[in-house]
A and B are shown apart, each in its own frame.
Chain A
Amino acid sequence: MAEGAVTCTIDGLEVSVPAGTRIIDAADAVGIGIARYCYHPALSAPAMCRMCLVEVEGAPKLQPACITAVADGQVVRTEGDAARVAREGVLEFYLANHPLDCPVCDKSGECSLQDYVHREGRKRGRSVEPKRVLGQDFFGGKFGGIIYDGDRCIMCTRCTRFMREIPQDDLLCVVQRGNRSVIDTFFEEGLDESAWAHNIIDICPVGALLAHDFHHKARVWDLDRAPSVCSGCSQGCNVHVDVRDNVIQRLRPRENPEVNSYWMCDYGRYDYEWLNRAPTTVGGDLAETPAADGGRGGAGRLDAPLVRGAGGALEETGWREAILALVERLRAHAGGGGLLLVSPFQSSEDAGLAARLAGALGIAEMVYRCARAGEEIPCRGVPGLARRRDLAPNPRGLEMLGFERTGDDRGAGGIASTGGALIVLGDDLADLPADFDPGADLFVYLGRRLTPAARRADFALPVTTFAEQDGTFANHEGRLQRFWPALQPPARARPAWQALGVVLAGLEDGAAPASAADAFLRLGEWHAPFRGLSYEDLGTRGALANASVRVTPDGAEVR
């Protein structure tokens, strides 16, 4: 038993936890999920939902597990008759005025009220009284805003406490009293100014707070979920990508205490449309045209390898033919120098193999272009969490691989013709005109969209987005984080590490990496920051790259 630890018994299981731990956390540690609404591990505990009442031996009344600290030798029962009856009673109270409109509620399927009532509520409620009707409200907010349904609200106040304690932007409060209480904003602009407000939708245990963006879009049980990393900025918030029919429906933050706690910013949360190949908004203004998706490859994907033929036109071909032809051209070019441009939306594996290829070709100039926001948007209540200035997930990873930043804060410009070979990976050259002169003997383009400038390429090869492949990003502090494929790529698109690996294998007569994990191991052979790390080491929460600079919450840099 560690020093300062106490041992208590919860439902017959012995638990050893540090002194001062709350019963609810101690129970979580041994897999006993005590029912809760108002309690959230990242917020203060008001003990007002009365769901987590448990029997503590020696206490005259039931104790709320969310604020009662464990004591040595304490015996806690969560399944005793008194606790069970109390929960059943509280659940019945919740349903007395709840509209029970699960069939049309977006939260249905991931609703704690639904879950707990089905688990241990009364089979039939006894209320025959007319229900209280409070109606809906619109709270404003970025990206379509947030809808509030007062009838579904169970007054847990997680949302008001979140706004007060996490972004520390006290924009929500409870108004009125008793059974007439509703959550409301203070002014007309509501939540418009907050960059973090949409987190209240995730922590709402019921369907009282809904994203306009996700409203009636999908049933949650139809969604496929993949763990991933937000690509909105270099913070690298961990996310779940929720997909239906190969279309991303929403992003949700995934807990990672080292990076984003339980949260993510609204900019990142709604930066997913570009990953969808088909526009998902009916009559909407997002991603309808290739230009509207920020040029990152949404609609109008490059779907087949193209090679410039004898007649001077790009001709569709197969991967095998394209690779063979490319290897032949590159052999002739070895040592000829040139420029490698890689997008910071590419994984470290992609960029690492591109850098290896550049080395084989004698290309010394390796650059990336990255849009930068005017200023950081910090989340005041969570040290180290902010929307970073770099609006791409992997600029730090590229720098660890030897790339240098070029271009302006819009992520444009900075491409000078250098002669030799021009190899572009991911960056779609949307800022360049159709008569762009690469000034190179060989122009290889691996991308997702055939922009006018990209049409000048000798080889145009379709590659996947990060959401369609395995890989890692390095966030601003050098934390290497894995992401998993969430979408099916277009049939003939390939991960860049795979395409480049095969080309490199052809050039060097070696073996191509068999998987992203394999490609990552090779990075460790070539680059010190990745040395000794594997996908197993990264796990779901990532690991710091070697000798990387870590910025502590008080601003100090630690090597």
Chain B
Amino acid sequence: MAYPYEHPSETRVLSTHFGEPRARALSFWREHGGYDALKKALEMGPEAVVETVKESGLRGRGGAGFPTGVKWSFMPREKDGPHYLLINADESEPGAFKDRELLRWTPHQMLEGALIGAFAIRAEHVYVYIRGEFFEPAQVVARAVEEIYEAGIAGDDVMGSGHAIDVTVHCGAGAYICGEETALMNSLEGRRGQPRVKPPFPAAVGAFGRPTTINNVETLCAIPHIVTHGGQWYRQWGTEKSPGTKLFNMSGHLERRGNYELPLGFNLKELLYDVCGGIPNGRSLKAVIPGGSSVPILSADEIDIPMHYEGVIEAGSMLGTASVIVMDDATDIIKQVRRIVDFYAHESCGQCTPCREGTTWVAKIMWRIEHGRGTMADLDTLVELSRNMIGTTICVLSDSAAAPVLSSLEKFRDDYLARIPKTRLPAPGPAEGAGAPAALAAGDPAGAPAHAAVEA
């Protein structure tokens, strides 16, 4: 059954049972071969499982695209204490809605992958960290966990193998930053959800100070299939560097929005116009964000590209979570960018100065420009502030906020220019709420030429 739309180009591996409520039940899942892969993995042994995943070339689906097998192989082989597997189900990237569907429809698919992963990295405990707002998925997963405990699939003796693997479902409190792996660990431990400094990396010092691997939901969902069919089987789709299938989350101005599972490397233009039915209401395309709100924007003439990790990077953006946000020609790009930056300003954890101060400052400037009160100098300031926010912080949230600003300034500069008043505006004075010290600090005395960059 297709959900919500289907298309002949699709290659359904993970999303086969989307839209089928009965697929949530363990009985249904086992009838369809569920947990056979776990059984096979338990017989193969951890090393062989890791090798198989390495061979498949599966890359992390959470955005960074790090090879999963390699990540697993970083875990220490000799145990001197507990290891943990964390499942990052804190899907909060604006535009992304793939993990939510995987959790809702096929919880056992993920849990099977997680148990295989835990076995491979010698972890005795799996934590499913679910985004706070995901009430329904959390309930579905919690029910599924109960079922596998009752069936002896999780617990002290996993499928009679003698291995003990526990599964705990943990709900976040609704902070975007807790989707960052180390912030997730802090949050799981009951601390403030703030990213940690790396190194040490999680494979050495992770959750509760122990070696930890953290995987995305979609990544783990692919594992049972890879273990069942072998690494080479997975490589029938995609490219050498980006093998396999991927859920594409299509949103925005499209005829048929939704999740589509396609081989990596699928052409973006074809994806928009063929799979999703193009732009509705006879409008034309203006811009595409190919990988969730944190990646650079592509303009309409940049979309004839293959959607795999390296292809999108070549086009100047990133595949990220493959959350494609499509905007038609009626879209106010400035407003969209301002809303994205507002989101990051709201979600910045506040540790690093460039992010804490930079995101709000950029948001304020964007707000002024959006409302016709920007100056030419603001555009230069935006560029400089954004550059100061890239690569200067612990995690990449501030880079994410800067990317849409810089890319939109580059590709849609005319939109910005059109919004900036032709006549000179006085700098906002006390009437706008900026006190005298602010005006002094601003170094932008009323009457200074509006075009001149206020470089001291």
Residues of A that sit less than 8 Å from B by CB: 46-51, 53, 61-62, 64, 67, 85-86, 89-90, 92-97, 99-101, 122-132, 154-155, 173-174, 176-181
CB distance from A12 to the nearest CB of B (A): 24
Most buried by A among B361, B440, B441: B441
Q: Which residues of B from 343 to 360 have beta carbons under 8 Å from A?
A: 345-354, 356-360
Write out the residue numbers on chain A whose beta carbons fall within 8 Å of the beta carbon of B432.
130
What CA separation (Å) do A129 and B392 show in the bound complex? 23
Question: Which listed residue (B347, B387, B391, B442) contacts A127, Cβ 8 A?
Answer: B442
Interface of B is mostly: helix
Question: Which listed residue (A90, A127, A132) contacts B353, Cβ 8 A?
Answer: A90
Q: Which residues of B from 67 to 93 have beta carbons under 8 Å from A?
A: none
B364 at the interface (CB under 8 A from A): yes
Is A127 a contact partner of B441 (Cβ separation < 8 A)? Answer: yes
Is B361 a contact partner of A93 (Cβ separation < 8 A)? Answer: yes
What CA separation (Å) do A154 and B353 show in the bound complex? 8
Is A86 a contact partner of B392 (Cβ separation < 8 A)? Answer: yes
Is B437 a contact partner of A100 (Cβ separation < 8 A)? Answer: yes
CB distance from B422 to the nearest CB of A (A): 19
What CA separation (Å) do A178 and B349 show in the bound complex? 5
Additional 6 contacts, C-beta under 8 A, given A47-B394, A62-B391, A128-B438: A90-B354, A126-B381, A128-B444, A131-B438, A174-B350, A178-B348
Write out the residue numbers on chain A whose beta carbons fall within 8 Å of the beta carbon of B384.
89
CB distance from A396 to the nearest CB of B (A): 42
Is A155 a contact partner of B353 (Cβ separation < 8 A)? Answer: yes
Could you list 5 A-B pairs, sorted by A, with CB under 8 Å?
A48-B353, A90-B354, A90-B388, A93-B361, A129-B428
Write out the residue numbers on chain A whose beta carbons fall within 8 Å of the beta carbon of B438.
127-131
Is B443 a contact partner of A125 (Cβ separation < 8 A)? Answer: yes
B205 at the interface (CB under 8 A from A): no
Write out the residue numbers on chain A whose beta carbons fall within 8 Å of the beta carbon of B349.
177-178
Q: Which residue of A lies closest to B175 (CB)?
A: A177
Number of residues in B with C-beta < 8 Å to the partner? Answer: 49
What CA separation (Å) do A86 and B354 show in the bound complex? 9
CB distance from A170 to the nearest CB of B (A): 12
Interface of A is mostly: loop
Asked if A90 meets B442 with Cβ closer than 8 Å, knowing A48-B351, A96-B361, A177-B350, the reply is no
CB distance from A216 to the nearest CB of B (A): 19
B197 at the interface (CB under 8 A from A): yes
CB distance from B450 to the nearest CB of A (A): 12
What CA separation (Å) do A154 and B385 show in the bound complex? 18
Asked if A127 meets B456 with Cβ closer than 8 Å, knowing A90-B353, A155-B350, the reply is no
Q: Which residues of B from 410 to 430 have beta carbons under 8 Å from A?
A: 427-428
Is B350 a contact partner of A178 (Cβ separation < 8 A)? Answer: yes
B365 at the interface (CB under 8 A from A): yes
What CA separation (Å) do A46 and B394 show in the bound complex? 9
What CA separation (Å) do A89 and B443 show in the bound complex? 16
Asked if A178 meets B440 with Cβ closer than 8 Å, knowing A50-B353, A128-B434, the reply is no
Q: Which residue of B lies closest to A86 (CB)?
A: B392
Question: Which listed residue (A53, A124, A181) contacts B443, Cβ 8 A?
Answer: A124
B192 at the interface (CB under 8 A from A): yes
Write out the residue numbers on chain A whose beta carbons fall within 8 Å of the beta carbon of B381.
126
What CA separation (Å) do A90 and B175 show in the bound complex? 25
Q: Which residue of B lies closest to A99 (CB)?
A: B437
Write out the residue numbers on chain B whose beta carbons fall within 8 Å of the beta carbon of A179.
345, 348, 350, 356-357, 359-360
CB distance from B357 to the nearest CB of A (A): 4
B393 at the interface (CB under 8 A from A): yes
Write out the residue numbers on chain A whose beta carbons fall within 8 Å of the beta carbon of B190.
none
